[in-house]
């Protein structure tokens, strides 16, 4: 059920500021693609264009095409709400809904999009929590508030919430940057399992993480502050980290700048 993403000529703006320019790439289904690059290079912005979250920011605007299999997300008549059901997202900081219990958090996407029978919900919640490797830790307290969990557990709860609606693609915006090393490891393991079912795109600042979890890596950079960010290259992760074809990538990876 995972789908292929095909981006061509994508440019995104904040009001008049051009944040990223002319990006084209392909993301294969059932793979993990990591975006790396210095701060401000537009990798998070680009990620957010992949499920039309970019336009939620006031002034956010996009030109170009993002094909999900053979549907353009930005085609006329496309409802961004349905796009986001197909392309789920996990954020930098864990953000469980504070008014909801653990169970309700996972069920939120389904419940808010339609009505379900209690038994169906039970199944989906258990399946999603198992999928997020959280079930054993929380199965006895599904009715406690989600915000009572530890940071790492909260983030896995958010992943469970995202996969409960069975998206085709899962976007992760620096999902581990607010977590300790042990929780980070748990999430990384989880990513490895999730890629069996989903197309995963992850933004990370941590190059070891990119090397550990991803199949392919895209390097973004910007010429100068105030200039739009650009895709420098995308390739198999191994190759990017051993023998990149662009000098800037090598400089960045070996820590010579950024």
Comparison of 112 and 182: residue with beta carbon closer to other proteins: 112
169 vs 213 by CB, closer to other proteins? 169
Nearest in space to 210 (alpha carbons), one of 201, 223, 198: 201
SS3 assignment, position 240 = helix
Position among 14, 40, 86, 197 found at the interface with other proteins (CB under 8 A)? 86
Tell me which residues in 93-122 interact with other proteins (CB under 8 A). 93, 95-99, 108-109, 112-113
Q: Which of 71, 166, 72, 47 is nearest to 116 (CA)?
A: 166
Smallest gap from Cβ 118 to other proteins, in A, equals 18
Q: Would you count residue 14 as binding other proteins (CB under 8 A)?
A: no
Nearest-10 crossing angle of helices 151-164, 102-113: 20
**Smallest distance from other proteins to CB 171, Å:** 8
**Contact present, 41 and 222 (Cβ < 8 Å):** yes
Cα–Cα distance for residue pair 144/141, rounded to 1 Å: 5
> Could you say whether residue 162 binds other proteins (CB under 8 A)?
yes
- What three-state secondary structure class fits 233? strand
C-beta of 158: minimal distance to other proteins in Å?
7
Q: Distance (Å, rounded) from C-alpha 45 to C-alpha 41?
A: 9
Number of residues that bind other proteins (CB under 8 A): 63
Query: Among all chains, which residue has been given the structure tokens 């995963």?
Result: 200
Question: Which window, 35-43, 116-124, 126-134, 141-149, contacts other proteins (CB under 8 A)?
Answer: 141-149
79 binds other proteins (CB under 8 A): yes
When binding is defined by CB under 8 A, the residue of 16, 39, 70, 77 that contacts other proteins is 77
CB of 38 to other proteins, least distance (A): 18
CB-count exposure of residue 137 (10 Å: 0-12, 13-18, 19+): middle
Adjacency order of strands within the sheet including 5-14: 71-72, 60-68, 5-14, 17-27, 229-236, 216-222, 32-36, 199-203, 169-173, 87-90
Contact pattern from residue 167 through residue 196 relative to other proteins, giving x for each residue in contact according to CB under 8 A and a dash for the rest: ------------------------------
Considering the complex, state which of residue 239 and residue 256 has its C-beta at the smaller distance from other proteins. 239
Task: Give the range of 118-126, 158-166, 183-191, 194-202 binding other proteins by CB under 8 A.
Answer: 158-166
Q: By C-alpha distance, which of 156, 150, 162 is closest to 189?
A: 156
CB atoms within 10 A of CB 182: 8
Positions that interact with other proteins (CB under 8 A): 8-9, 23-26, 28, 51, 53, 55-56, 58, 61-65, 74-86, 88-89, 91, 93, 95-99, 108-109, 112-113, 144-149, 158, 161-162, 165, 218, 231-236, 239, 245-246
């Amino acid at each position: 059920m995972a789908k292929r993403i095909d981006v061509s000529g994508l440019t995104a703006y904040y009001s008049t500021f051009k944040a990223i320019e002319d990006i084209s790439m392909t993301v294969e289904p059932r793979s993990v693609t990591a975006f790396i690059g210095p701060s401000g290079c537009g990798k998070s912005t680009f990620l957010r264009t992949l499920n039309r979250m970019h336009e939620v920011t006031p002034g956010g605007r996009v030109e170009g095409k993002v094909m999900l299999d053979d549907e353009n997300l930005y085609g006329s008549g496309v409802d961004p709400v349905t796009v986001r059901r197909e392309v789920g997202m996990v954020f930098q900081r864990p953000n469980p809904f504070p008014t909801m219990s653990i169970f309700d958090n996972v069920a939120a996407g389904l419940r808010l999009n339609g009505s379900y029978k209690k038994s169906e919900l039970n199944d989906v919640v258990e399946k999603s929590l198992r999928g997020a490797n959280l079930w054993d830790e929380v199965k006895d307290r599904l009715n406690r508030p989600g915000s009572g969990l530890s940071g790492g557990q909260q983030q896995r709860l958010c992943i469970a919430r995202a996969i409960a609606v069975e998206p085709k693609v899962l976007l992760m915006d620096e999902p581990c940057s607010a977590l300790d090393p042990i929780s980070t490891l748990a999430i990384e393991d989880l990513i490895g399992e999730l890629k069996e079912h989903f197309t995963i795109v992850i933004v990370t600042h941590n190059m070891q993480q990119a090397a550990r979890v991803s199949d392919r890596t895209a390097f973004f950079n910007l010429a100068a502050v105030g200039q739009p960010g650009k895709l420098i290259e995308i390739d198999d992760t191994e190759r990017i980290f051993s023998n990149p074809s662009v000098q800037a990538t090598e400089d960045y990876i070996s820590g010579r700048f950024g």
